[in-house]
Amino acid sequence: MGCRLIAIAMVFGCTGAFAASLGTDITYFDNRVGSSSNSTNNSWWNGGTPDSRVNGGLDVGEDQEVEPGATPGQKWDLEGMYLTDSGVLSLVGGYDFEDGQDGYRSGDIFLSVNPTFASTNTPGSIEPPNSSGAGYNYVIDITPAVYSGGGTYTVYAITGLTVGTGLVGTNTFSQSNPWRLDYHYIPNLTVVASGTFDMDTYKTDAALASAYTNFSSGYVPQGAGNTTDYYNHYVLSGFDLSSFLNLDEVCVYAHYTMECGNDVLTGYLPCAPVPEPATLLVLGMGLAGLAAKRRFGKAA
């Protein structure tokens, strides 16, 4: 993955010895914002910085927005998804990934490999797999580990499962589906990887911003206001995708939400560029020339 992910950001944990490199921001804007047609005026926009990648730099993207019609507030806000050069996935948000919020628990992370995007996606009013859950290939099962305090996760192959037949959806916002793996299906699934994770907490914007060395763009959480609610930020990190995927050869779409579906966080790692025909021709001529040189050398 060396050439695909070059922006590296370091996070130094404020609540423990765990430290992680967030890496490149792969957050995928889903085109769903608040209750207004103008995303900078939705029901939970609170002064975020416009993102150059969203609507020509006019809108704020995933930072400081929850799903349309959802309960507003930083405590429900899922803000960014990041991937290191070595393939470690991290989530950032105002939502407490470990303890949940108001009794609503943390979900699992779903992955679609080489997904097919709808032609109407600009980039994502409809998610690639869709809200039925069809099209996801793997799930990073983290919910039980979070609440047992074990700090471990298990990756299962789930191709063919949908909401109601192996996956669980939310009771409120279908666009946030799926929420988690149905644990009744676990004995029949193939385990493809496992590992450990951790969560760091940042109580102020300044503390979080200072942790992102060499980080100059993307969905940097920027909670505004004077109440504590706006200052909660959490980093959930340590999910090693490279342990079961060759990230130099595949595209990957990731989906995460919490139990109530108040917000959904998605990320996308594009496929490696395919060489243009002219490049392939030059490469082929070079290989042919090398082969001819070797044959000539043997004849001599």
**Amino acid letter, residue 123:** P
Tens digits of per-residue pLDDT, 105-143? 999 999 999 987 765 444 444 567 778 898 999 999 997
Tens digits of per-residue pLDDT, 171-210? 888 889 999 999 999 999 999 999 998 888 776 656 666 6
Task: Tell me if 31 sits within 8 A of 125, measured CB to CB.
Answer: yes
The per-residue b/e assignment along 9-27, b for 16 or more CB within 10 angstroms, e otherwise, is bebebbeeebebbbbbbbb
Task: Tell me if 139 sits within 8 A of 111, measured CB to CB.
Answer: yes
How many helices (H) and strands (E) the chain has is answered by: 3, 16
pTM assigned to the model: 0.78
Tens digits of per-residue pLDDT, 55-84? 666 666 777 778 877 887 778 888 889 899
